[in-house]
Structure 1
Amino acid sequence: MPRLVLMLVATMAISLTASETAFSAPIFLDYSGFDTRLSELAASAGIAAFSGAEIDTIKANIKSDLETIYSDFDATFTETDPGGVTDIWFGGTTAPGGLGVADGIDFGNMVLDDLSRVFSANFDFIIEAGDARATQIDELSAALSGTAAHELGHNLGLRHHDAYGDLTYTGGTIATGGAQNAFIMATGSTGLSETGRETTRTFNTHEKVKLSFASGFNASLPTTLSETADFASTIAAATAASALTLDPLAVVTRSAINILGEITTSGDSDIFRLDLTSGTTLTADVNNDFSGVFPPGFANGNTELRIYDPTGTLVASNTVSAYSGNTFGAGGFGDGFDPALFNVPITATGNWFVEVVGEGGATGDYQLLLHADTVTSSTVVPEPSSFALLGVGLMSAGAWRRRRQRKDQNEKQNAV
């Protein structure tokens, strides 16, 4: 793992655990019921049923596409069930129109046996009866593998608005020209077309940053910072604190850190300092859509993100990642109430500040992902004695409970 550069003071409480992951994640491609679903698809599309050899070709294409899409990560796809692993099932059924569904949004891959479902029979719209058989097979394979990669992405923490993650912040709505639909997390609400589904898509930089935190999919993981006492709540306090360098990532030229924090009282906020270089960009993204089983006690907080330049001037803010088709920053779609600020331009070298505040006085827990260009000396700065480092992505349930207990003790001591 890239070396962490720490500048510490004696009073700062730090714990850093090993960041190596013990295994490459096997993903089981479950084709039980798949032949039946393809027969239903062929009948609905008005074409001849697929032969056994053609079905084998589709399966081989799906596996090859998934290996290509996830080639930057330690992902192994197998048709032999090893048990207790992530499963992509191609034989399920649902109402017409449904293409796939994931168990949840599991940032960090804390639940290793999540299930992704691809409803293969509903892909009849991909088939053009007049096309050559080879074209039908190729386009169907690409559509199925794209949806499989998309649903697996959800189970590794990705969301639909991440498809817009390579846009540059402008302070207003952005007309994308459809750029988001080249990426895996694009979907109907982002404007993904039939032609787009028939084309092999890839992950954008922001999606790759988030996947870099997935346990079992990376040889090492970036740091997760856990709040054990209140972070800095003013720019002055953040400026005076010590520094932690962000972790350079292996798959993209970005450095990143994940922060688990809590807004404890109405009007409270947490402020982080980053030392950035002019001409680069900074992304701040709140991710509170955990799978239902992790972590215990996590109370999603409705938050607002704010970024300040070295003069303390507010230059970017967001309360919800709204989008619709080729528009980002407005529209009828959004992933929960989680805000994101993608690629905010850094216009001056120096201390920049990211603030997380409860929207409308809300309280609760949050998870904040920060990433910036690796060429910078990006640093995140909480107050002394206010954090613990976990190099294994997200915290275990036990670590989360200990965090809450320590905070409760600190608050009781402060009240005395």
Structure 2
Amino acid sequence: MKKPTISLKYLYKSIIGGALLGIVPSLAMATTLTPENEQYLLSYVQHQHSTTCSHWKSLPISKQEKLLLGRNVPEVTAAGVTTQDLSPSIATSTQPASTGASSQGPQVVYLDFDSATTGTYSRTYKENPDGTGADITRVFDEHIYSAEERAYIQQRFQADYGQFNFQFTTEQPTEGEYSTIFFNANMPGEGADAGPAGIIVDDGGAITSILFGIADSIDFRNLARGDNANVDGNVWALFSSGGFEAVTGMVDTPENRALATVIQSAQTGAHELGHIQGLRHYEAWGPIGEGLPTTGTPPDDAFLPEYTGPRNGTETTLHLMGSGFSAGLSLADSVVTDRFFSERSAIKLAFNENGQVVAETDGDHSSIGSAQMVDLAKLDVPNTIVEGRNANNRLNVNAISIEGSLSQIGEWDWYAFHGEEGDIFNLEVISLVNSNNDDFFDSILYIFDELGNLLTYSDDEFESPDSFVFDFKMDYTGIFYALVTGFDYTGTGFDQWSIGNYQLFVTQTRIPAPSAFLLMLGAIAFMLRRRHNGGVA
């Protein structure tokens, strides 16, 4: 049975809230948020997780229903593995490794400030919250970016992506593939195919959320060079004077309102560009190896099984790929913090350019005794950390992506990896959240030690039914095993969700103490970034 067609273009949004901001319906050009509604928005952004920002609506049954079914776990843990099964006849891949997308040259990005900018935008809704009454259309002003503001935003992009192979331009390229970031793309039909960014107004006139940006795709390995994204930073014009000053710490002047819009546009644009490079919201969690953010977001029960690991991600809110729902970022973080890429983001961006990809073996690897042994490849990863524990450390990273598939319900794909005590491993089964994969499925990922003892497993990460075992630390030196399988949908009418294609993306990180030379380089990089981000007069 063929899976339902799902466009991932419309599933990944940098949405900032689902709060009811009961603005009185009006046709006035300059409508402001009340202080009460502003505080409600800030509280909501910091503490809630929303399925509107996730892929769960794509799944045929809910996470709770999956818990009740309870498939797979007892079967795997009762597999009766013995040390006799762990023979040295581990199958090795006969497929040569291939690189990621580096041979395609630099990723060109066009910063388009004009094609979606008309000076105003509107929202139309019914007069009453129940959908009755007359149609009401409210018109809002758009920010018009000056030449200096455009140059500043371009400098911010260049600072964020400067250690990777990117080229940014404010002039539309005349040849070759390129991605476009559309600013002020807040109306249907403008900019990227993903849909409009901007405020969302429900019937009755309440602003229910703010969509600062939306990306066409989540393109792991950056295989498509023409993905686009929409950005809208105009919400800062809607705050009351007191609310604007309370949130941003800036004096409420027209110049500072414009500055907030420009900074918001730069950070959201860099964030959405990250999505079309394959970056996920959880790439913001950091420092690497410390588990979930200290903000309490996302909650433990957003994962299946419920998360029980550490919450020491103290640096998460400094990182570009964070959001309110994934990391507990506040609305103020968008304009008062010059965010940068985390270690996780840097690893994935480096992998896009130089990573090694291998194919699942053609031979049998359906048991732990016949597991496919996979050697991770050295990956040169630049240090993008401006401040934090690893700001002056050298990141020693090995990584691999395995292209695999499950063709039968109950199929098991076993892989073996070698690690040393203290190594930090992150393992992602990328299937549904991959715009390059039409044959996706609902995965489960199990991790076993060298004696076949189950150490941990992931059925669903917090935003989708893809599996993610993160910050798994080796407490011994030797082999560990990863088992990829599908959730068993037998009897539910959705058997097709048990089989499909996947990429198993595995990274191994070691972080040594910094040398004096690296400390000096870190200080130079920090000064250069400050110079690039010198501000807009």
TM over 0.5: yes
- Indicate conservation of the 8 Å contact 2:430/2:504, yes or no: yes
Paired amino acid for 1:86: S
Q: Once the 2 structures are TM-superposed, how far is the Cα of residue 310 of structure 1 from its aligned partner?
A: 2.3
Q: Show the 5 A alignment for 1:1-150.
A: 13-17=94-98, 20-33=102-115, 36-37=118-119, 55-83=146-174, 84-93=177-186, 94=196, 96=199, 97-124=210-237, 128=245, 130-131=251-252, 135-150=256-271
Distance 1:363 1:10, change over 3 A: closer
Q: 1:313 to 1:66 in 2, by over 3 A?
A: same
Q: 1:180 aligns with which of 316, 328, 346?
A: 316
Partner of 2:502: 366
Structure 2 contact 236–260 (Cα < 8 Å) conserved: no
The counterpart of 1:307, out of the listed 414, 429, 447, is 447
CA radius of gyration, larger in: 2
Contact 1:28 1:85 in 2 (8 A): yes
Corresponding residue pairs, total: 340
Aligned with 2:467 (options 329, 339, 354): 339
Given the alignment of the two structures, is residue 227 of structure 1 paired with residue 360 of structure 2, yes or no? Answer: yes
Report the Cα distance in structure 2 between the residues aligned to 1:341 and 1:367, rounded to whole angstroms: 14
Deviations 1:308-349 (A, max 9, x none): 122221111111112xxxxxxxxxxx1x21111111110001
Partners in 1 of 2:457 and 2:475 — Cα distance? 16
* 1:247 lines up with 2:383 in the alignment: no
Amino acid at match of 1:130: V
Deviation, 1:289, is 3.8
Q: What code does the residue aligned with 2:332 have?
A: T
Greater CA deviation, 121-130 or 255-264? 121-130
Distance 2:323 2:466 in 1: 18
Counterpart amino acid of 2:103?
Answer: T
Q: Which has the higher contact order (CA 8 A, sep 6+)?
A: 1
Distance between the aligned counterparts of 2:155 and 2:92, measured in 1? 52
Task: Indicate yes or no: 2:370 matched with 1:237.
Answer: yes
After superposition, the CA RMSD in angstroms is: 3.2
Q: Which residue of 2 aligns with 1:154?
A: 275
The answer to whether the 8 Å contact 1:257/1:370 transfers is yes
After superposition, the C-alpha distances for 1:183-202 in whole angstroms (9 at most, x for unaligned) are: 11212312221221012211
> Shift of the alpha carbon at 1:121?
2.7
Which deviates more, 172-181 or 98-107? Answer: 172-181
- The normalised TM-score by structure 1 is 0.72
Distance (Å, rounded) in 2 between the aligned partners of 1:210 and 1:133? 39
1:270 is matched with: 413
Matches of 1:212 and 1:232, distance apart in 2: 30
Equivalent position of 2:46 in the other structure = none
1:232 is paired with a residue of what secondary structure? Answer: coil
- Measure, in 1, the Cα distance between the counterparts of 2:235 and 2:507: 38
- Cα distance, 1:153 vs structure 2: 1.0
Q: Deviations over 1:60-102 (max 9, x none)?
A: 2211111111122111110111153100010311451221111
CA distance in 2, matches of 1:11, 1:245: 13
* Mapped partners of 1:258, 1:11: distance in 2: 15
The CA deviation at 1:167 is 4.8
C-alpha displacement of 1:212: 2.0
Q: In the TM superposition, what is the alpha-carbon distance from 1:277 to its structure 2 partner?
A: 0.6
| Structure 1 residues 35 and 186: CA distance shift in structure 2, 3 A | same
| Cα contact 1:168–1:345 (8 A) shared by 2 | no
Distance 1:321 1:17, change over 3 A: closer
Q: 1:141 to 1:287 in 2, by over 3 A?
A: same
Q: More displaced, 168-177 or 181-190?
A: 168-177
Task: Tell me, yes or no, if the aligned pair for 1:28 and 1:78 is still in contact at 8 Å.
Answer: yes
**Cα contact 1:169–1:341 (8 A) shared by 2:** no
Classify 1:228/1:70 alpha carbon distance in 2 versus 1 (closer, same or farther; 3 Å): same
Deviations 1:89-123 (A, max 9, x none): 10311451221111011111121111111023334
Structure 2 counterpart SS, 1:212: helix
The 3 A distance-change label for structure 1 pair 107 and 123 is farther
SS in 2 for 1:98: strand
> 1:376-387 alignment to 2 at 5 Å?
none
Kindly tell me: are residues 11 and 192 of structure 1, through their superposed partners in 2, closer, same or farther at Cα, counting changes over 3 Å? closer
User: 1:137 offset after TM fit, Å?
Assistant: 4.3
Q: Which amino acid aligns with 2:367?
A: T
| Alignment-derived partner of residue 388 in structure 1 | none
State the TM-score, normalizing by the size of structure 2.
0.57
In structure 1, the partner of 2:290 is 168
